[in-house]
């Protein structure tokens, strides 16, 4: 029972007793508080010292910059004063190499060499020799300028020739395109004219064929009507009265035969019309082949002859 009671005891106080950071028994709380207070005071004092040192350093840097700027101004002023003194009291003409009694003597003196044709140049001066080319620099410069002008002239001539050649090529190309376009237009016009002429000839021949067929049909119909009238007259006459029944049967057979004959004639006319149209188309293809050029006189004569009379195959 005791062991179970001890095992069921709460773990909170034991953990606080055994943990040295949370344990309050056996320690001096007031001493700890004083130590913490002293440490804070020490940190604040150290921080104040650092801030003071920083302010002093910034002040010293500002003073150093001002002193450096003042030194630079003083040095510049000293150099300006020195330069002004030299320009005022130490001129070149006041030096030892000048004559103090005549400071402008060197300026008034004649130079050692002015030109090769100078009268003062003596033989002993060795200023001019026999056969010496003294204008070599000017001559070379003139030659270079002349060569440059010749080169520029050649370039201009070459560019002008190239421009003329390009212009001629462009003109030739435009003219060739215009000729090609004109030839295409003429060929198209020729094809349209030939097509229109063939269409007109075809329509005329077709109308002629239809007229011929219609005329033949009228003639056959007229002939058949005449035959029927003749047959009816014979049948209604007194010569064939005893055989009336046979004649009626024969009349029926005759009508059937005529109807069948009409159908055959109609089919034959259609076939003949198709054969005539195909023959006419073959004649047109032989008379006007696509590869041959179009000629106005021959086409007009052929069209007039074909329109005057159609000749079937």
What are the structure tokens assigned to 72, written together? 């630079």
Q: How many CB atoms are closer than 10 A to CB 190? A: 15
Helix 136-236 vs helix 244-287: angle between axes, to the nearest 10 degrees? 170
| pLDDT of 180 | 94
- Tell me the C-alpha to C-alpha distance, in Å, between residue 204 and each of 2, 78, 197, 215, 307: 143, 126, 10, 16, 7
Question: Could you report the per-residue pLDDT of 124-174, keeping only the tens digit for each?
Answer: 666 667 777 777 888 899 999 999 999 999 999 999 999 999 999 999 999
| pLDDT of 21 | 65
Q: What is the mean pLDDT of the chain?
A: 77
Q: Following CA atoms 157, 160, 162, 165 in sequence, which dihedral angle do they give, to the nearest 10 degrees? A: -120
- Residue matched to tokens 């101004």: 73
- Tell me the C-alpha to C-alpha distance, in Å, between residue 86 and each of 77, 81, 105, 149, 292: 14, 9, 22, 54, 112
- Tell me the C-alpha to C-alpha distance, in Å, between residue 170 and each of 62, 146, 157, 165, 184: 82, 36, 20, 9, 21
pLDDT classification of 48: cutoffs 50, 70, 90: very high
Question: Could you report the per-residue pLDDT of 214-256, keeping only the tens digit for each?
Answer: 888 888 888 888 888 877 777 666 554 555 555 566 667 677 7
Share of the chain above pLDDT 90, in %: 34
| pLDDT of 115 | 67
What is the model's pTM?
0.30
Question: Could you report the per-residue pLDDT of 255-284, keeping only the tens digit for each?
Answer: 777 777 777 777 777 777 777 777 766 666
| pLDDT of 183 | 94
Bigger pLDDT: 217 vs 107 = 217
Helix 136-236 vs helix 296-308: angle between axes, to the nearest 10 degrees? 10
């Amino acid at each position: 029972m005791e062991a179970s009671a001890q095992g069921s005891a709460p773990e909170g106080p034991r953990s606080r007793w055994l943990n040295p950071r949370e344990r309050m028994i056996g320690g001096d709380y007031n001493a700890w508080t004083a130590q913490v207070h002293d440490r804070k005071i020490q940190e604040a004092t150290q921080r104040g010292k650092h801030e003071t040192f920083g302010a002093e350093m910034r002040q010293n840097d500002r003073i150093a910059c001002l002193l450096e700027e003042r030194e630079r101004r003083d040095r510049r002023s000293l150099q300006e004063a020195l330069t002004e003194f030299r320009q005022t009291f130490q001129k070149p003409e006041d030096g030892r190499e000048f004559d103090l009694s005549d400071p402008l003597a060197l300026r008034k003196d004649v130079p050692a060499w002015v030109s090769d044709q100078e009268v003062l140049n003596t033989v002993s001066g060795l200023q001019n020799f026999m056969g010496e080319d003294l204008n070599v620099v000017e001559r070379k410069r003139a030659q270079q300028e002349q060569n440059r002008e010749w080169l520029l002239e050649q370039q201009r001539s070459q560019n002008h020739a190239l421009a003329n050649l390009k212009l001629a090529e462009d003109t030739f190309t435009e003219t060739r395109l215009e000729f090609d376009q004109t030839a295409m237009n003429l060929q198209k016009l020729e094809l349209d004219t030939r097509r229109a002429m063939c269409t007109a000839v075809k329509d005329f021949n077709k109308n002629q064929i239809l007229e011929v067929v219609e005329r033949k049909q009228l003639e056959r119909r007229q002939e058949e009507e005449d035959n029927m009238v003749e047959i009816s007259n014979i049948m209604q006459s007194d010569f064939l009265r005893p055989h009336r029944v046979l004649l009626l049967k024969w009349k029926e057979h005759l009508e059937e035969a005529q109807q069948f004959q009409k159908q055959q004639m109609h089919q034959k006319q259609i076939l003949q019309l198709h054969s005539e149209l195909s023959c006419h188309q073959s004649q047109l293809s032989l008379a006007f082949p696509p590869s041959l050029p179009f000629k106005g006189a021959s086409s007009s004569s052929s069209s007039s002859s074909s329109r005057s009379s159609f000749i079937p195959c």
